[in-house]
């Protein structure tokens, strides 16, 4: 497996090599939080097992699984190992700033990796802008805004195998997000939302299931 160039200052890392005291509810530790209590009636959706973190959506959940950790940088990089065990699984990396109130739930931009493609989306100036979100819910989005939203997402075909570990690096510098898998640059997208002054929260946003390990966050400031 290729190793990324370790530029920048390491500000957080987790190897997930610890045990939980019980198996009834999430107990990730090391500063992590989850939305299982509010979105899955408290049912367990995150399990530390065999030195990795397994994230799986509970059948009662009314929202995808969100596993969050604070961070702070303008420019930076998130790296981790991940495995998709089913063709429908995907890995979502959501960058947020809960102090920024002009977007829904602090959403700035995201990277989504599935077995067929990598997708990068600017949420700050796209679908999570509060005015845009409200208009979409009300069905009153103008044609001008609809055309603008088409420019806020980039999807690049890239095939992955299920049951195999991969290393992903998502690096944001200025207004550009670049995604590499096993050391190979797969996708790059420039949009103004990526240049948000401070990224304060990493969300692992999981619609179904994923296994992650060896997560590192670097500041390039």
| pLDDT score for 20 | 97
Q: Please check whether residue 193 lies inside any domain of the structure.
A: yes
Q: Please check whether residue 3 lies inside any domain of the structure.
A: no
Rounded Cα gap, residues 131 and 109, in angstroms: 17
| pLDDT score for 207 | 96
Strands 184-190 and 33-34: unpaired
| pLDDT score for 209 | 98
Tens digit of pLDDT per residue, the chain (221 long)?
334 456 899 999 999 999 999 999 999 999 999 999 999 999 999 999 999 999 999 999 999 999 999 999 999 999 999 999 999 999 999 999 999 999 999 999 999 999 999 999 999 999 999 999 999 999 999 999 999 999 999 999 999 999 999 999 999 999 999 999 999 999 999 999 999 999 999 999 999 999 999 999 999 99
Q: Please check whether residue 39 lies inside any domain of the structure.
A: no
pTM of the full structure: 0.95
Residues 6 or more apart whose Cβ sits within 8 Å of residue 209: 54, 55, 56, 57, 85, 86, 89
- State how many domains the chain has: 1
| DSSP string across 25-92 | S----TT-EESHHHHSTT---EEEETTEEEEE--TT-SS-EEEEEEEEESSEEEEEEEE--STT-EEE
Q: Please check whether residue 46 lies inside any domain of the structure.
A: no
Q: Please check whether residue 37 lies inside any domain of the structure.
A: no
| pLDDT score for 3 | 42
Rounded Cα gap, residues 64 and 122, in angstroms: 19
From the CB of residue 155, how many other CB atoms can be counted at a distance below 10 Å?
A: 15
Residue 70, domain CATH: 2.60.120.200
Nearest to 94 by CA among 131, 62, 55, 66: 66
Exposed e or buried b per residue across 88-117, where buried means at least 16 C-beta atoms within 10 angstroms of its C-beta: ebbbbbbbbbeeeeebeebbbbbbbbbeeb
Range of the domain at 174: 9-14+65-219
Q: Please check whether residue 35 lies inside any domain of the structure.
A: no
Distances (CA, A) of 60 to 36, 37, 38, 46, 128: 10, 11, 11, 14, 25
Rounded Cα gap, residues 217 and 221, in angstroms: 12
Residues 6 or more apart whose Cβ sits within 8 Å of residue 26: 34, 36, 37, 44, 45, 46
Rounded Cα gap, residues 205 and 46, in angstroms: 12
Rounded Cα gap, residues 2 and 110, in angstroms: 23
């Amino acid at each position: 497996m290729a190793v990324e160039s370790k530029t920048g200052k390491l500000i957080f890392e987790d190897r997930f090599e610890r045990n939980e005291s019980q198996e009834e509810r999430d107990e990730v530790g090391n500063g992590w939080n989850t939305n299982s209590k509010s979105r899955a009636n408290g049912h367990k959706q995150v399990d530390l097992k065999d030195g990795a973190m397994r994230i799986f959506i509970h059948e009662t959940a009314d929202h995808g699984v969100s596993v969050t950790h604070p961070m702070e940088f303008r420019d930076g990089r998130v790296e981790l190992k991940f495995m998709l065990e089913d063709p429908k699984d995907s890995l979502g990396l959501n960058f947020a700033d809960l102090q920024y109130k002009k977007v829904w739930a602090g959403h700035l931009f995201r990277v989504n990796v599935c077995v067929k493609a990598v997708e990068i989306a600017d949420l700050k100036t796209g679908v999570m802008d509060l005015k845009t979100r409200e208009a979409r819910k009300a069905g009153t989005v103008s044609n001008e805004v609809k055309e603008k939203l088409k420019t806020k997402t980039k999807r690049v075909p890239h095939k992955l195998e299920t049951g195999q570990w991969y290393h992903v690096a998502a690096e944001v510098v200025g207004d550009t997000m670049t995604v590499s898998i096993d050391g190979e640059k797969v996708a790059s997208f420039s949009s103004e939302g990526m240049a948000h002054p401070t990224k304060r929260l990493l969300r692992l946003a999981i619609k179904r299931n994923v296994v992650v390990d060896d997560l590192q966050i670097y500041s390039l400031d």
